Amino acid sequence: MGAIVVMVCRNRAKGQAAQAEIKAESSNDQVDLIIADLSLLSEVRRAASSFKQKYTQLHVLIHNAGTINGERKVTPDGLEDTFATNYLAPFLLTELLLDVLKASAPARIVNVSSSGHTTGNIDFEDLQGVHRYSFMKAYTQSKLAQIYFTYELAAQLKGSGVTVNALHPGLVSSDFNKGTKGLAHFIGEVVYFFRGITVEKGAQTTLYVATSLEVEGVSGKYFSQSKETPSSKLSYDLAIRQRLWQVSEELIQQNELSHLLAENR
């Protein structure tokens, strides 16, 4: 479509290879690359700062980074890795880029969630999986959190010209399952082999929500197979949605304060 595309990648070598491939396939040299590990909130802040130093417009922000871990993994910020990467990073990155999005309106925010959110639950007593960790519990919780984030942000941005929607991309056959081990990994591989779709097909709903004229002005919705569809019944709970937003803000503020204290020691 001739757009300027800015990719955020964790691995420099893989990022540069993807950047070169996209340029060659699309004949568009306007493909930029920012290296950042989005599981770290400091890296999220740096990515946002790097973008703002170079660009003054942002019309589409797609949150696609995600992870799943067979065993509990804690980031240097003290956060459970799945929660930090899949949910808190998009929450913070959006917050940091919201001024540019508003100034660029009409603009769109696209959250790549999962149908897995339907079995998710927000465990406010153990958000970080300290007391009882299950990779599936952590994953589905993070994906449900993305839906809550989508609906609350859409309500806050009403009338701003910035829309925000979530989607299920499908069961995509990629290397995403490598984070699991043992029986869970084996079952995942079998399911992906027989039911998985290609990464090209898996990108179609994201592209639809990000670019289609049919979605222009549509906000606070959930999509699957490029069609608007209801999310889980639990995902429409306003009290949980607002509580999660407040808890997320507090976690980010605590992280920022701890970094400031560390820098001043």
Q: CA 155 → CA 95, 97, 148, 238, 245, distances in Å?
A: 15, 18, 11, 11, 12
**Residue 148 catalytic?**
no
Task: State the pairing for strand pair 222-224/227-228.
Answer: antiparallel
Tokens 């757009």 belong to 3
Residue 253, token pair as written in the block: 């503020």
Catalytic residue among 55, 133, 139, 148: 139
For residue 10 the two structure tokens come to 């964790």
Give the containing element (helix H, strand E) for 47: helix 41-54
- Report in angstroms the alpha-carbon separations of 103 from 45, 148, 199, 217: 19, 25, 32, 16
Beta strands across the sheet bearing 227-228: 60-63, 107-112, 162-168, 222-224, 227-228
CA distance linking residue 5 with residue 28, whole number of Å? 9
Determine the Cα angle at 252 with ends 114 and 108, to 5°.
45
Distances (CA, A) of 79 to 29, 75, 94, 156, 249: 37, 5, 19, 26, 14
Active-site residue list: 139
